[in-house]
């Protein structure tokens, strides 16, 4: 398989310098806060107006709070933070998920949103030390947590996950439907990398487990963060020489279908196919395979589940 141009993936956009050297400078963080642009995040959602993120000046939100205000970086001399609230603290704020607004955001805001959501999700799930069970607190601008008992430092985790577009020698693609998804919602195959496993090994294992086919010519396409809650999606395409053996595993994958471009266009037209969200790696892989008419031919329902 010839090398392909890397995918342009929506959530991989980033314009703000994370400025790691400033994270430990409490004097800078405190002084930058009043004029900083601040996102509000609560319960998997951002403060938003229409389909855009809503930024507020730090001065509007009171003083800098190291335990809930996480430093995201600097662009053109302007600092960016996210304030992490509980849902009770955000009762009167209009909130929207990244899935709802992601396709409408400019690159700067996409990069800030995935960074902010990833950090906030991690902080919420790790209030205690994994070594001694003691309480941990946010430190270094929210980039780490520190244990108050043994003084150990804990860093945000990112779970590696592969996602693969399976093709046959006729350039059809194989899509599957999970049991928990709505009727007619199909997508590419994906799974988490296991300990001691390479990305390529994971690609082969997941597709064999879920769709029953072996793969050749595995080719890297790109990557993007997927903070739902903490994944990094590594995208591949691959060929199977035994398309006739394809079958759903019956556990996670309930149904699989081969699609030519003509099949896919017809399925979109008669509403027998629902594709993944525009911001997803799966959608972008499908569009890249389909070709230049993807935006017009594949319009229709989309679903994140």
> Partners of 256 in the beta sheet?
176
Please report which confidence band the pLDDT of residue 304 belongs to, taking 50, 70 and 90 as the band edges.
Answer: low
For residue 238, the Cα-to-chain-centroid distance in whole angstroms is 22
Question: Over the stretch 239-279, which tens digit does the pLDDT of each residue have?
Answer: 999 999 999 999 999 999 999 999 999 999 999 999 999 99
User: What is the pLDDT averaged over residues 126-152?
Assistant: 97
The chain-wide mean pLDDT, for the chain, equals 95
Neighbours of 118 (CB within 10 A): 21
Is 134 in contact with 127 (CB distance < 8 Å)?
Answer: no
> Can you name the residues that pair with 159 across neighbouring β-strands?
231
Report domain extents, the chain. 10-125, 159-291
| pLDDT exceeds cutoff 80 at 7 | yes
Say if residues 81 and 38 touch (Cβ distance below 8 Å).
yes
pLDDT of residue 203: 98
Using one digit for the tens of pLDDT, what is the confidence trace for 249-260? 999 999 999 999
Q: Is the pLDDT of residue 6 over 90?
A: no
Region for residue 245 given its phi and psi (left: phi exceeds 0; alpha: psi -120 to 50; beta: otherwise) = alpha
The helix-helix angle for 281-290 and 261-269 (nearest 10°) equals: 120
pLDDT for residue 166 is more than 70: yes
- 159-291 CATH fold: Nucleoside Triphosphate Pyrophosphohydrolase (3.90.79)
- pLDDT score, position 305: 55
pLDDT band at 2 (very low <50, low <70, confident <90, very high): very low
Residue 91 is predicted with a pLDDT of 86
**pLDDT of res. 302:** 73
Q: Are 59 and 16 in contact (CB under 8 A)?
A: no
Q: How far apart are the first and last CA of the chain?
A: 31
Judged against a pLDDT cut of 80, whether residue 301 lies above it is answered with no
Residue 28 Cα distances to 21, 35, 79, angstroms: 11, 12, 10
- Residue 180 CA to residue 8 CA, distance in Å, equals 28
Q: Rounded CA gap, 7 and 175, in Å?
A: 19
Q: Span 10-125: which CATH code?
A: 3.90.79
pLDDT at 78 exceeding the cut of 80: yes
Q: What is the mean pLDDT of residues 219-232?
A: 95
Give the bridge partners for 216, in sequence order: 239
Q: Matching CATH topology for 10-125 and 159-291? A: yes
Q: How far apart are CA 245 and CA 256, in angstroms?
A: 11
């Amino acid at each position: 398989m010839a090398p392909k141009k890397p995918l342009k993936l929506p959530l991989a956009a980033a314009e703000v310098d994370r400025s790691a050297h400033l994270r430990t400078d409490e004097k800078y963080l405190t002084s930058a806060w009043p004029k900083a642009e601040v996102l509000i995040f609560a319960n998997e959602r951002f403060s938003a107006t229409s389909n855009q993120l809503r930024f507020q000046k730090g001065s509007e939100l009171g003083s800098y709070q190291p335990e809930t205000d996480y430093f995201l970086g600097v662009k053109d001399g302007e600092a960016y933070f996210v304030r992490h609230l509980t849902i009770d603290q955000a009762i009167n704020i209009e909130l929207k998920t990244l899935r709802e607004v992601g396709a409408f955001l400019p690159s700067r805001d996409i990069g800030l949103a995935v960074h902010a959501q990833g950090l906030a999700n991690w902080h919420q799930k790790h209030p205690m030390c994994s070594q001694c069970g003691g309480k941990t607190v946010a430190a270094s601008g929210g980039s780490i947590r520190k244990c108050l008992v043994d003084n150990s430092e804990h860093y945000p985790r990112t779970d590696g996950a592969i996602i693969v577009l399976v093709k046959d020698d006729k350039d059809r693609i194989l899509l599957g439907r999970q049991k928990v998804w709505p009727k007619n919602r199909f997508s590419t195959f994906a799974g988490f990398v296991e300990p001691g496993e390479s990305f390529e090994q994971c690609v082969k294992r997941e597709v064999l487990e879920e769709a029953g086919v072996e793969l050749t010519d595995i080719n890297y396409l790109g990557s993007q963060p997927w903070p739902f809650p903490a994944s990094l999606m590594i995208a591949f395409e691959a060929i199977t020489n035994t398309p006739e053996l394809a079958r759903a595993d019956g556990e996670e994958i309930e149904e699989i279908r081969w699609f030519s471009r003509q099949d896919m266009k017809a399925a979109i037209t008669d509403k027998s196919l629902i594709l993944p969200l525009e911001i997803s790696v799966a959608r972008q892989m499908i569009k890249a395979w389909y070709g230049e008419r993807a935006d017009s031919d594949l319009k229709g329902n989309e679903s994140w589940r």
